[in-house]
């Protein structure tokens, strides 16, 4: 592997991963709405249609259900499609194919058929796209056995997890926060993979653990710097994969720090934080807790169009700072 590291944006890292996959495996092809000449709704596919042609980068009609069905069928017959949704919200239009077909085929056919399918979902709020184009629906799909669900938080992981997903024999759902597309970070050249199902400790600490996903990893790191000035040392676990969950890393961190705050943008109720909380409460880490587990998630509300209201319904850095202060100081 070439060890040279450059600074790339999150979207550039994804595009590079798709180019590597297309170059290295003739079974790989891209499909989605406006991914050809237009370059994708968020310009992530860019010029790939010019480099690889319309047989490998396929513009689809406006039918998420039909496109998803084609992707599932292609995967079952030996191809390795990467399907891009314009917005993660449009997964709702393709749930029959994702949940009832892609997730279940290997099981229902006794392991004789696999579904090596990757689906990419631009997700989250912060772009003023309002209630039908700003949701975080990853917990919906993580509830379904047979699907793997990942949320890269850095350009490095966006590339490495996508390349791992392309090699995986099962359907992998990738939720990419739209506000991360322009974020830069170090990305090695060439082919490498990041293991699906393995969390990453982004910051070590002693006083409390934050388990965060996607853009909330960045916000948690900002909050940790503020808290450090107050003498509060926070450990941050980037979950990276929400199905399967890296139980060992989370539990070991909580046993060390004795406090847990789960931070995620999706609606708090029945979100990934509830699963993490229950997992810790049912484990040996429960006996180490010095404070009740806390969740910090989105409000029980559709995402508003107004930019100030949009910020108000999802966790921000001051909310994370306040949550950790309350945990450490014994307040609820």
Its CATH architecture, for the domain 200-329, is: 3-Layer(aba) Sandwich (3.40)
Among 1, 30, 10, CA closest to 161: 10
What values do phi and psi take at 119, rounded to 5? -120, 130
What ranges do the domains of the chain cover? 5-188, 200-329
Q: Under 8 Å CB-to-CB from 93, ≥6 apart: which residues?
A: 64, 65
C-alpha 196/C-alpha 215 separation (Å) is 18
The H or E element spanning position 172 is strand 172-177
CA distance 234 to 221: 9
> The domain 5-188 is classified under which CATH number: 3.40.50.970, 1.10.10.370, 3.90.1150.10, 3.40.710.10?
3.40.50.970
Residues of the chain with pLDDT under 70: 1-4, 331-332
Cβ within 8 Å of residue 115, ≥6 positions away: 72, 75, 76, 102, 105, 106, 169, 170, 171
- Smallest CA-to-CA distance from 227 within 198, 259, 254 is with 259
Most distant CA atoms of the chain, gap in Å: 60
pLDDT of residue 331: 65
64 is catalytic: yes
Report the pLDDT value the prediction gives residue 5, as an integer from 0 to 100. 76
Q: Alpha-carbon distance 21 to 113, whole Å?
A: 22
pLDDT value, residue 322: 97
Is the whole-model pTM more than 0.85? yes
Catalytic residue among 84, 133, 138, 176: 133
Buried/exposed 45-72: b ≥16 CB within 10 Å, e otherwise: bbebbeebeeebbbebeeebeebbbbbb
**177 in active site:** no
Q: How many C-beta atoms lie closer than 10 Å to residue 312's C-beta?
A: 13
261 exposure class (CB count in 10 Å sphere: 0-12, 13-18, 19+): buried
* Cβ-contact 98, 119 below 8 angstroms: yes
- What's the pLDDT score for residue 3? 56
Q: Which of 16, 33, 64, 235 is catalytic?
A: 64
29 membership: H or E segment, kind and range: strand 28-32
* Domain pair 5-188 / 200-329, same fold: yes
């Amino acid at each position: 592997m070439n060890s040279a590291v450059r600074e790339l944006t999150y979207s550039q890292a994804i595009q590079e991963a798709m180019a590597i996959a297309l170059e290295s495996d003739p079974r790989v092809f891209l499909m989605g709405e406006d991914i050809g000449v237009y370059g994708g709704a968020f310009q992530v596919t860019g010029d790939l249609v010019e480099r690889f042609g319309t047989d490998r980068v396929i513009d689809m009609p406006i039918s998420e259900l039909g496109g998803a069905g084609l992707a599932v069928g292609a995967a079952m017959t030996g191809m390795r499609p990467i399907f891009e949704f314009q917005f993660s919200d449009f997964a709702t239009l393709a749930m029959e194919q994702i949940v009832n077909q892609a997730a279940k085929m290997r099981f229902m056919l006794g392991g004789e058929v696999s579904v090596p399918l990757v689906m990419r979902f631009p997700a989250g709020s912060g772009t003023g796209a309002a209630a039908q184009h700003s949701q975080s629906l990853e917990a919906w799909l993580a509830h379904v056995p047979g699907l793997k669900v990942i949320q890269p938080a850095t350009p490095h992981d966006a590339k490495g997890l996508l390349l791992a997903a392309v090699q995986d024999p099962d359907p992998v759902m990738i939720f990419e926060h739209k506000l991360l597309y322009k974020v830069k970070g170090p990305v090695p050249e060439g082919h490498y993979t990041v293991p699906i199902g393995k969390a990453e400790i982004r910051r070590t600490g002693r006083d409390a653990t934050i388990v965060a996903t996607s853009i909330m990893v960045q916000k948690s790191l900002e909050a940790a710097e503020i808290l450090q000035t107050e003498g509060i040392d926070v450990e941050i676990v980037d979950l990276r994969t929400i199905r399967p969950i890296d139980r060992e890393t989370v539990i070991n961190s909580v046993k060390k720090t004795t406090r847990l705050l789960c931070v995620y943008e999706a609606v708090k109720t029945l979100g990934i934080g509830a699963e993490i909380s229950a997992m810790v409460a049912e484990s040996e880490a429960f006996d180490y807790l010095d404070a009740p587990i806390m969740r910090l998630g989105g409000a029980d509300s559709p995402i508003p169009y107004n930019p100030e209201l949009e910020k108000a319904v999802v966790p921000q850095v001051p909310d994370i700072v306040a949550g950790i202060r309350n945990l450490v100081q014994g307040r609820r």
